[in-house]
Structure formats: C-alpha cells, structure tokens
Amino acid sequence: MQIIPAIDIIDGKCVRLTQGDYNQKTVYNEQPAEVAKAFEAAGLKRLHLVDLDGAKAGAVKNWKVLEVIAKTTGLVIDFGGGIKKKEDLEIVFSSGAAFATIGSLAVKEHATFTDWLGKFGADKFLLGADVKDEKIAVGGWLETTDVCVYDFLEKYISHGVRQVFCTDISKDGKLEGPSVKLYENIINKFPKLEFIASGGVATLNDLYALEAIGCNGAIVGKAIYEGRINLNELASFNNNAE
C-alpha cells in the first residue's frame, strides 16, 4: 500500500480544513513546494494536491503551485479542485500533473466526464468519491445526493476507470480513524479497483488496518501536519510495503 501525502492549497499556501469547512482553516506552511520536497526526501513517491480556491471558484486557480512542485520534485502528482472544463484539464496536465482528480463533475456531468475518459484516457484520472452513509456527496460536501457509492463506482469502472479514492466525509480532518468497514465493502465488491482510502487517518495503526483490507493507497493529511505520524514512520511504512 502506497502512502500519498496531501497538500491542500488556499492563496498559494498549504492549509487543512476540517470536514471541508473553509471557516475551519489552519495554515501549516506558506511554501507548499518545500512541504512537497520534504515528502520526497522522506522517500514518498506520490502527492495528492488539492486546489481549494479552485474548488470554491469552479475553475483551476493554483496551477502555479502544481507547476513549481512538478518542476522541483519527482513526485507523481494527482491534482484536483475546480476542474470543470476541458481547458482546466489541459492546464492541469500541462502544469505537470500525472492524474486529474475528478469528483463532483463525475456526479453531475456524466456525459462530460465520459467524453474526457475517451479523449484523454481513463488512466489519466483519479476518481474521487465523497461519501456519507454510502451516498455520494458533492459541492464541497454541502449536498448529499441519493446516488449510492457502489452504483457510482460501477458506472465509471465500466468506462475504464481503475483508480479511485474514497473519503468518508464524517471522518475527514477529525483524526478519529478511517472508515475501514466501508472501504472493505468497496474493495470486496470491486477487487480489481486500485482503491485509495482517504479521511480519518490518525495513527500508523490506521494505515496497517487499511493495508490489511487490501487498499492500494492511503491519503494522509492532517495526521502529518499535526505530528501524529512523522515522515520517518511513513517512509519506513512505504519501504516495508515495497
């Protein structure tokens, strides 16, 4: 299982929100590229980069941060937040992202997303599923749909999507542990999926629990910034996983 550290960006700075609430914001570092370099120095290979300004505005905003990190590290970056148009997608890929992260758009604009899958290739996308009580949530988690997570994933797996990350929004940013049972259910239903867990990771034991159920990756954010898990521990976990 691969550890994927997260950097969330507002005004070009590395921040974390609690449960997607922009009013519950903590700034951790004003230089996201320095944070990314520290991740790379610890032996981590991937990065989950989220443009929170873009998510709010409905258009990519912090692509310059992506560009700098892509140029100054060798991290494999997935980038999301505000990708609503083909032009956004092209900016993200030209700025150095290996994967474009798509969430709400896949829920609301099925035709657009399936068109992108055909044109750019399904292997260029990381599908994000924000979930509350097994239903998909959208719009910065302000809106819960009646779409079942299993139906949502099945629809896009049939279009070639293989890489998915799932966030139980009741857990995110709370450091209360991940939704192991939900993730286990998804993995059992879709065993060929490259499944990445997100939200709630607070300790190294949480990572071992996710590895035990067959997760391919785990996104870790607040636990790193709050010092619950240090980079040496993540590096040794990654080395053991390899």
Which of 23-37, 87-101, 226-240 has the lowest average pLDDT? 226-240
pLDDT for residue 143: 76
pLDDT at 14 > cutoff 80: yes
Residues facing 97 on adjacent strands: none
pTM beyond 0.75: the answer is yes
- pLDDT tens by residue, 49-71: 999 999 989 999 999 999 999 99
How high is the pLDDT of residue 139? Answer: 67
Residue 51: predicted pLDDT: 96
SS3 99: strand
* Cβ–Cβ under 8 Å, residues 222 and 208: no
Domains of the chain: 2-241 (3.20.20.70)
pLDDT at residue 140, rounded to an integer: 60
The radius of gyration of the chain from alpha carbons, rounded to an integer in Å, stands at: 16
Question: Do residues 159 and 127 lie in contact, with contact meaning Cβ atoms separated by under 8 Å?
Answer: no
Per annotation, catalytic residue among 130, 168, 172, 206:
130
Residue 130 annotated in active site: yes
Q: Which residues pair with 130 in a beta bridge?
A: 167
Please say if the pLDDT value at position 203 is more than 80: yes
Query: What average pLDDT does this structure show over 206-229?
Result: 95
Residue 8 bears catalytic tag = yes
Mean of pLDDT over the chain: 93
Whether 37 shows a pLDDT value over 70: the answer reads yes
